[in-house]
Structure 1
Amino acid sequence: MSLIVQKFGGTSVGSVERIEAVADKIAGYRDQGHSVVAVVSAMSGETNRLIGLAHDIQDHPTPREMDVLVSTGEQVTTALLSMALNKRGYTAKSYNGSQVRILTDDTHTKARIKSIDGDRIRKDIEAGTVVVVAGFQGVDEAGNITTLGRGGSDTTAVALAAALKADECQIYTDVDGVYTTDPRVVENAQRLDTITFEEMLEMASLGSKVLQIRSVEFAGKYQVPLRVLSSFVDGPGTLITLESDTNMEAPVISGIAFQRDEAKISIMGIPDRPGVASQVLGPISDANIEVDVIVQNVAADNTNDLTFTVHRNDLQDAAAILNQVAEKLGAREIVTDDQICKVSLVGVGMRSHAGIASKMFAALAELSINIQLITTSEIKISVVVDEKYMELAVRGLHSAFGLDGEPESVE
């Protein structure tokens, strides 16, 4: 009937019992007449165990050998799942990344996929075989094993779906879809039936942990229908598509994302002249520190104050670099704050509705939450606030924009 690529994460295959349950799920799709390619992660905790072994041997493990080591976790799962399917009377065959010929660049531990040779898999599919592929890994031009970085099995699944022209790519995880926000923060968060690639990409980049960012980018680029489902409960999940919901009553805001591990740095009193921002942020970028929100203000004395955010783990390194920059530029002082968070509204409906920002700011003001920084895009508004107000802000905005029930209109 159709070709479906199904990806099962570490919690979905975390034990022999869970692998047996996954085999039953795949068998159900085969019985309906569907062809299935399964992509699996390592069993829950296995990758961390292997990394721990590496660090027991070497403080800074060689990247090539690290890839050889951690790629074995997924290979164990492929073999066990294939055995479980064979036991049920279905022909199944396991492949690792090099056998499929998932060709990547040679950047060990965070490689990127260049191409996939799907010929062998297509022949197996035509013969009625369930193909089980090890996620997270590939091979470079020289034949070296590579890995795609943590969460890379999602990318493997979407890339395979694109290469095989699958009818749908299903990502099975421990949640039953994409929610308007984290249900652990807002009890009445709603599962979304559909969400656009654009919205999901923003949600993923802004803190939502449901899908890996690169997999969403890949799906959007190749227009692969992507569905998030639960391995533990049956349900329709959330479909991620190119088009937005045309329902007139659909909410303007699709979801609220948040990031706890943010830190803010301000360099005060730098000269107001062209190129200064580059002199400040260039060394930060050279140190592979990702900068997020950036705000620059001109003071009354014709000096600049430049404020930006980084991941909290990068704060000390960024501050050390800025101390050197400040000395060269004659800056007045550097101020840091590691007790902030970012809260973001996401929705393609922002394009056609005015007043989103003002409604957001009013809702936060009513809760006496001070906004420190603001950044916007066509479908996103993010604010930086004190971390202690994060959950209050998320709950307040979730209610203000009608995400916990009937959608509210924006005046």
Structure 2
Amino acid sequence: MEKRLIVQKFGGTSVGSVERIQRVAERVIKTKQQGQQVVVVVSAMSGETNRLQSLASEVDSLPNARELDVLLSAGEQVTVALLAMTLHKLGYKATSLTGWQAGIITDDRHNQATIKSIDHDKFKTLLNDDQIVIVAGFQGMNQNGDVTTLGRGGSDTTAVTLAGLLGADECQIFTDVDGVYSCDPRVVDSAIKLDSIDFSDMQAMAKHGAKVLHLPCVEFADRYNLDVRVLSSFSPLQGTLVTRLPSRASVCGLALQREVYRIDLAPLKADAIVAQCQLLGVTLHWHSGSVVAVDSNDVSKLLQMLQQDIIDVAPVSTLTVVGAELDELYQKVQMQLLENDIKVLDSFRCDRVVKLLLLPEHLDRAANFIHAQYIELSHYVAKDKKELIL
């Protein structure tokens, strides 16, 4: 009988020390001992990418994109080698591969590349030799042989893309949390762990600030109908299944974005500037009339290039509500927040999303209020109904 292929991804916290890499190796071995082929994708050790980014910033506030990719890709190379060494020591055959050794070909967009293809033969040869294949996440190379990276959270994308292109039976994403929550549990103590979430809601959560899964990873899983399970490296719980099956929650969850800046543009130049942002690879978290909101690391880039067309810059935060039934919330929430001394600077509604622009100091209070009013109450009502039926 043909062996099942499992792709497992371990994030930076999971491989943050030699001791943790040892535990990852033991978990990989357990999967291998179940008679399955295993491909492992790892991130850089926690804090390493930030350290490398900081070094680049000391040299140049706007470093060359190609050279930045060369630098940042070094973090994952350390992790794959250490994990392979650990597996060797424990008596298992393993081979570590950088993105380019794995034949991961991307487009030419440095710092935000997209995977186009992989070297199937390389993986097939190693797996048929009963090896555990360890791949550096977050990276690949373009057609010119230049190193490219996939953007923050890109190891998730590497794992799901490999799982899809290799025809894996399952993709498991191991993180420092035990699944996908209705809101960041560090902000909302009563956040609810979701047993499952559908692709569309997970995409909306990821796009608007939820950090558990990288957006391109969810998009790829949706395209290939590949179920992804989010698990904790430190817990035996079953985690959250990201799947095509539709969600029944009227309000699924909240996504938060900090370190965002609101930029007021000269009205006559706004449309041209928005188009220019897209060409520059600047992500707009907000665009309403002559107002945009961007990440803090993009502010200096825009100020440097468009200073004469920028009227004002101010720190803000965004809170995005994701769900299937948001009409009532959108009609009431701004007044409800104002009654609690939380002012909504701006808002918009589209499809399964309501997005609010807030002062940074109001974000956590707003998240706790909305979660209590629109998620916890409906969750416990639904739970009570289910128990009555049973």
State whether structure 2 residue 316 is matched by structure 1 residue 340. Answer: yes
CA deviation string 1:293-315 (max 9, x = no partner): 3334xxxxxxxxx4333334545
The Cα of 1:147 is off from its aligned counterpart by 2.5
The answer for the alignment partner of 2:259 in structure 1 is 261
Structure 1's 404 and 16: CA in aligned 2 closer, same or farther, altered over 3 A? Answer: farther
Q: 1:214 aligns with which of 210, 213, 216?
A: 216
Distance across 2 between alignment mates of 1:307 and 1:59: 25
The answer for the alignment partner of 1:398 in structure 2 is 371
Structure 2 unmatched ranges of 5 or more: 383-390
Aligned pairs for 1:279-318 within 5 A = 279=272, 281-282=274-275, 285=278, 288-296=281-289, 306-315=290-299, 318=302
Distance across 2 between alignment mates of 1:255 and 1:169: 23
Aligned pairs for 1:49-198 within 5 A = 49-52=51-54, 62-198=64-200
Distance across 1 between alignment mates of 2:156 and 2:345: 35
Aligned residue for 2:291, secondary structure, equals: strand
8 Å Cα contact 1:180/1:403 also seen in 2 = no
Distance across 1 between alignment mates of 2:60 and 2:264: 37
Distance across 1 between alignment mates of 2:217 and 2:346: 29
Q: Which amino acid aligns with 1:87?
A: K
Q: 1:369 aligns with which of 336, 339, 342?
A: 342
CA deviation string 1:72-99 (max 9, x = no partner): 3322222221222233232222222222
Aligned residue for 2:101, secondary structure, equals: helix
Distance across 1 between alignment mates of 2:65 and 2:357: 36
TM-score (norm 1): 0.82
The answer for the alignment partner of 1:330 in structure 2 is none
Structure 1's 281 and 105: CA in aligned 2 closer, same or farther, altered over 3 A? Answer: closer
Structure 1's 388 and 107: CA in aligned 2 closer, same or farther, altered over 3 A? Answer: closer
- Tell me whether 159-168 or 281-290 shows the greater mean CA deviation: 281-290
Taking only the aligned residue pairs, the percentage that are identical comes to 43
The Cα of 1:144 is off from its aligned counterpart by 3.0
Aligned residue for 2:28, secondary structure, equals: helix
Q: Which amino acid aligns with 1:220?
A: D
Aligned pairs for 1:317-328 within 5 A = 318=302, 324-325=308-309
Q: Whose Rg is larger?
A: 1
Higher helix share: 2
8 Å Cα contact 2:344/2:357 also seen in 1 = yes
Q: Which amino acid aligns with 1:242?
A: R
CA deviation string 1:25-79 (max 9, x = no partner): 1111122222211011122233344445556677765544443443333222222
8 Å Cα contact 2:253/2:375 also seen in 1 = no
Structure 1's 382 and 407: CA in aligned 2 closer, same or farther, altered over 3 A? Answer: farther
TM-score (norm 2): 0.86
CA deviation string 1:184-204 (max 9, x = no partner): 111111111111121111111
Distance across 2 between alignment mates of 1:62 and 1:323: 21
Structure 1's 407 and 356: CA in aligned 2 closer, same or farther, altered over 3 A? Answer: farther
Aligned pair count?
A: 380
Q: Which amino acid aligns with 1:113?
A: I
